Structure 1
Amino acid sequence: MVRAQRPPADGLRGPRSRRSPGPTGRDLRYVPLTPEAYAEQQRAQGVPEEWVQLTVGLYEQVRSGGLACLPHHRHAIVVAWLAGQWAYHADQDREREAAAARPRVSGERVWDTDTLTYDHVEGGVGHPMTPPVGGAPDKTWMTCDGTVYTETIRDENAVHCLEHGAVWITYNGTATATDVKRLAGKVTRTPYTLMSPVTRQSGTITLSAWGHQLSVDSASDPRVEQFITAYVPGPRLRNRALPARAAVPPR
């Protein structure tokens, strides 16, 4: 039986590392890229220069044994984590640019998303606006697969949906039965939306996305459709893998 050889002491499987086949024809040993080749590979993928320098610096430490205190198999994890950090921040930059270029819906209010925390909580949060457009969400989210709630839901659970790009449509006691029915029909046809009553809100009907909010007096207002079109999925998707169905079921 042929045993797979362990990677060399300075080995590292970075992105697209070159490999040499073992005796069975399978890739058993990883041949690390030089720091220069690794840097060029990152630049070719569009990584900003400051991130290239940061990741290459760590890459050199890994290859030289500077991170010998880490188990060998975790060296690549460290570099992969840095690459993930770059991808995350690059994605946020693109989202900000897209949000800045997107035409505003008339009457829409906008908050600086950098001031809206993403720290997950388990208890209640005193959000500064009603309904909230961001801030500390609960660790679980509401079902937001075009889901209509006929009873009030926790702000913190709904905010978790906004964090992942959903639009939350709410209404107070002044909304007519016709408006509520019309909104419910629109929501059930639109993934990444949810709807619920919020009796304490000032506007008759309010549409909220992460950092964006619009209040209207009637479901027939054309801005309702404009807001949904603009923000489903929303401008801030911190985790695009959010399933539309969650542990908190609709009532």
Structure 2
Amino acid sequence: MSFDRRTREEQTPGAGRAHDRRNRVAVIAVSAAVVAGLLGFGSYTLLKGPEADAAGEVSTAASRAGDAKQAEPEEAAAAGAVEGERSWDPEKLGRDHVTTPVTYPMRPPVGGDHDPAWLNCDGVVYEKAVPDVHAVHALEHGAVWVTYDDRATDADVRALASKVAGTPYTLMSPYDGQDGAIVLSAWGKQVAVDGADDPRVARFLARYVQGPQTPEPGAPCTGGVDG
């Protein structure tokens, strides 16, 4: 018996060619997969760009909306009447400058004839009562006058004084004979509250400091008299 030392591939016609075809097919398949992956990544990148931009725009819009929302309380405070406030017809309130005593129909007064000199009202806190005729002139310039009597607590007085001291076109003083423990007055407008933490305090100040009721907007609150 003779033994053929050739390999089986050599012994089998076409076996080598079949092996080469399988290798080529494998290489082609791998190449196709790589190309497909690159194309897919490229498409994802192209699509992601606009989506990222859109997402950024949405985020920016949301941020602006948040800023606007934060600004809403102050804007809301300046809009509309304050709950419980009293109003007087400004056409019926005198505005003449007089040097004689004036009797006002409300306490504290919210308008009427007044002294030619206004009370300094650039965030001034007066420890003693001030003349009505000077305070009314300050109201004509767009100031808000905060008054209190013995019913107001020391804590409320301190809190109000701090708020007034930091707010231009405001003044504060004690006042006997008013309706509430704490009263805020502007030209033709007035509200009484029980405490400094009443939200109507901030609302009244926001609406009526140099507000739409002001007969002489922009007139000074300095250069007048100090009580």
Q: Same fold (TM over 0.5)?
A: yes
Contact in 1 for aligned 2:145/2:172 (Cα 8 Å):
yes
Deviation at 1:156, TM superposition (A): 0.7
Deviation at 1:112, TM superposition (A): 0.8
Deviation at 1:200, TM superposition (A): 1.6
* Structure 1 equivalent of residue 202 of structure 2: 225
Deviation at 1:194, TM superposition (A): 0.4
* Of 93, 108, 125, the match for 1:148: 125
Q: Which has the larger Rg?
A: 2
State the secondary structure of the residue aligned to 1:227.
Answer: helix
Aligned pairs for 1:64-143 within 5 A: 102-143=79-120
CA distance in 1, matches of 2:88, 2:151: 26
- Structure 2 stretches of 5 or more lacking a match? 1-77
State the secondary structure of the residue aligned to 1:225.
Answer: helix
Deviation at 1:202, TM superposition (A): 2.1
Q: Which amino acid is 1:207 matched to?
A: L
* Of 146, 149, 158, the match for 1:169: 146
Poorly superposed stretches of 4+, deviation over 3 Å: none
Query: Are residues 1:189 and 2:166 paired?
Result: yes
Contact in 2 for aligned 1:204/1:215 (Cα 8 Å):
yes
Deviation at 1:234, TM superposition (A): 3.0
CA distance in 2, matches of 1:116, 1:204: 25
Contact in 2 for aligned 1:140/1:160 (Cα 8 Å):
yes
* Structure 2 equivalent of residue 211 of structure 1: 188
State the secondary structure of the residue aligned to 1:208.
Answer: strand
* Structure 2 equivalent of residue 6 of structure 1: none
Contact in 2 for aligned 1:141/1:158 (Cα 8 Å):
yes
CA distance in 1, matches of 2:151, 2:212: 29
- Structure 1 stretches of 5 or more lacking a match? 1-100
* Structure 2 equivalent of residue 28 of structure 1: none
Q: Deviations over 1:206-243 (max 9, x none)?
A: 00000100000101101100000010113333333422
Q: Which amino acid is 2:138 matched to?
A: C
CA distance in 2, matches of 1:114, 1:184: 32
Deviation at 1:102, TM superposition (A): 4.6
State the secondary structure of the residue aligned to 1:203.
Answer: coil
Query: Are residues 1:200 and 2:177 paired?
Result: yes
CA distance in 1, matches of 2:193, 2:214: 25
Q: Which amino acid is 1:105 matched to?
A: V
State the secondary structure of the residue aligned to 1:168.
Answer: strand
State the secondary structure of the residue aligned to 2:184.
Answer: strand
Contact in 1 for aligned 2:110/2:187 (Cα 8 Å):
yes
Q: What do you get for the CA RMSD once the two structures are aligned?
A: 1.5
TM-score (norm 1): 0.57
Query: Are residues 1:159 and 2:136 paired?
Result: yes
Aligned pairs for 1:30-69 within 5 A: none
State the secondary structure of the residue aligned to 1:206.
Answer: strand
* Structure 1 equivalent of residue 64 of structure 2: none
Q: Deviations over 1:97-137 (max 9, x none)?
A: xxxx9511110111111100101111211000000011111
